[in-house]
Structure 1
Amino acid sequence: MDRTKKLIAEAFEDIADGIEKGSFKKRSRIGLTVYGSEHGVEEMIKAAQLAGSKYGDFDIVLIGPKIDCGFESVEVSSAEEGHKKMVSLLEEKKIDGCVTQHFDFPIGVSTVGRIVTPGSGRNMIISTTTGTMATGRVESMVKNSIAGIAVAKSIGIDNPTVGVLNVDGARGTQRALEELQNRGYKINFAQSLRKNGEALMRGNDLLSGTPDVMVCDSLTGNLLIKIFAAYTTGGNYETLGYGYGPGIGENYDKLINIVSRASGAPLICEALKYCAMCAEGKVLRVAKNEFQKAEAAGLEEILKKDKPSKVEEVKVPPKEVVTYAIPGIDILELDNACRVLWEKGIYSESGMGCTGPVILVSSQKGEKAVKILKEAGYK
Structure 2
Amino acid sequence: MSELNSSPLNQALAEAFTDMSDGLLGGSFKRPVRIGLTLIGSEHGTDELIYAAQLAARSGKLEPVLIGDMSYENQEEAPFELHTVKDMHDGHLLMEQMLDSGELDGCVAMHYGFPLGVSTVGKVITPAKGREMIIATTTGTADTLRPAAMVKNAISGIAMARATGIEEPTVGVLNVDNAAQVERSLRQLIEGGYKVRFTESARADGGALMRGNDLLQGVPDVLVTDSLTGNLMMKVFSSYTTGGSYEALGQGYGPGLGEGQERLVGIISRASGAPVVAGALQLIADCARGDVIARFKEELAAAKKAGLDEILAGLAPKTDSKPKEAVTAPAETVTDAEIGGVDILDIEDAKEACWKAGIFAKTGMGCTGPIVMIAAADKDKAAEALKEAGFI
- What TM-score do you get using the length of structure 2 for normalisation? 0.87
The counterpart of 1:96, out of the listed 57, 80, 105, is: 105
Deviation for aligned residue 1:295: 0.6
**Corresponding residue for residue 367 of structure 2:** 354
| Larger displacement relative to structure 2 (351-360 or 256-265) | 351-360
Alignment of 1:113-124 (within 5 A): 113-124=122-133
- The answer (yes or no) to whether the contact 1:314–1:339 under 8 Å persists in 2 is no
Q: Give yes or no for the alignment of 1:57 onto 2:68.
A: no
Q: Give yes or no for the alignment of 1:142 onto 2:151.
A: yes
The counterpart of 1:293, out of the listed 292, 295, 302, is: 302
Q: Give yes or no for the alignment of 1:45 onto 2:45.
A: no
- The answer (yes or no) to whether the contact 2:174–2:211 under 8 Å persists in 1 is yes
**Separation in 2, partners of 1:111, 1:322:** 48
**Corresponding residue for residue 220 of structure 1:** 229
Q: Give yes or no for the alignment of 1:317 onto 2:328.
A: yes
Alignment of 1:54-203 (within 5 A): 55-65=59-69, 66-67=71-72, 68-203=77-212
Superposed CA offset, 1:302-329 (max 9, x none): 2222122135412131473663432221
- The answer (yes or no) to whether the contact 1:246–1:255 under 8 Å persists in 2 is yes
| Larger displacement relative to structure 2 (209-218 or 362-371) | 362-371
Go from structure 1 to structure 2 and tell me whether the alpha carbon gap of 1:215 and 1:188 turns closer, same or farther (over 3 Å shift). same
Deviation for aligned residue 1:286: 0.4
Superposed CA offset, 1:138-160 (max 9, x none): 11111111100100011111111
Go from structure 1 to structure 2 and tell me whether the alpha carbon gap of 1:72 and 1:331 turns closer, same or farther (over 3 Å shift). same
Output the amino acid matched with 1:80: H
Matched residue SS, 1:373: helix
Output the amino acid matched with 1:371: E
| Larger displacement relative to structure 2 (76-85 or 156-165) | 76-85
**Separation in 2, partners of 1:284, 1:185:** 19
Deviation for aligned residue 1:26: 2.8
- The answer (yes or no) to whether the contact 1:322–1:360 under 8 Å persists in 2 is no
Larger Rg: 2
**Separation in 2, partners of 1:369, 1:52:** 59
- The answer (yes or no) to whether the contact 1:115–1:241 under 8 Å persists in 2 is yes
Output the amino acid matched with 2:382: A
| Larger displacement relative to structure 2 (302-311 or 229-238) | 302-311
**Separation in 1, partners of 2:214, 2:28:** 43
| Larger displacement relative to structure 2 (35-44 or 352-361) | 352-361
**Separation in 2, partners of 1:115, 1:75:** 31
**Separation in 2, partners of 1:163, 1:353:** 19
Deviation for aligned residue 1:278: 0.3
Q: Give yes or no for the alignment of 1:373 onto 2:376.
A: no
Percent identical across equivalent pairs? 51
**Separation in 1, partners of 2:29, 2:165:** 20
Output the amino acid matched with 1:272: L
**Separation in 2, partners of 1:326, 1:291:** 32
- The answer (yes or no) to whether the contact 1:125–1:214 under 8 Å persists in 2 is yes
Matched residue SS, 1:126: strand
- What TM-score do you get using the length of structure 1 for normalisation? 0.90
Output the amino acid matched with 2:122: G
Output the amino acid matched with 1:317: T
**Separation in 1, partners of 2:378, 2:132:** 46
- The answer (yes or no) to whether the contact 1:317–1:347 under 8 Å persists in 2 is no
Superposed CA offset, 1:48-98 (max 9, x none): 122123x12211110002243320011111122211221221122211111
Q: How many residues get paired?
A: 361
- The answer (yes or no) to whether the contact 2:129–2:218 under 8 Å persists in 1 is yes
**Separation in 1, partners of 2:36, 2:117:** 24
Q: Give yes or no for the alignment of 1:261 onto 2:270.
A: yes
Go from structure 1 to structure 2 and tell me whether the alpha carbon gap of 1:318 and 1:145 turns closer, same or farther (over 3 Å shift). closer
Q: Give yes or no for the alignment of 1:328 onto 2:337.
A: no
- The answer (yes or no) to whether the contact 2:48–2:274 under 8 Å persists in 1 is yes
Matched residue SS, 1:29: strand
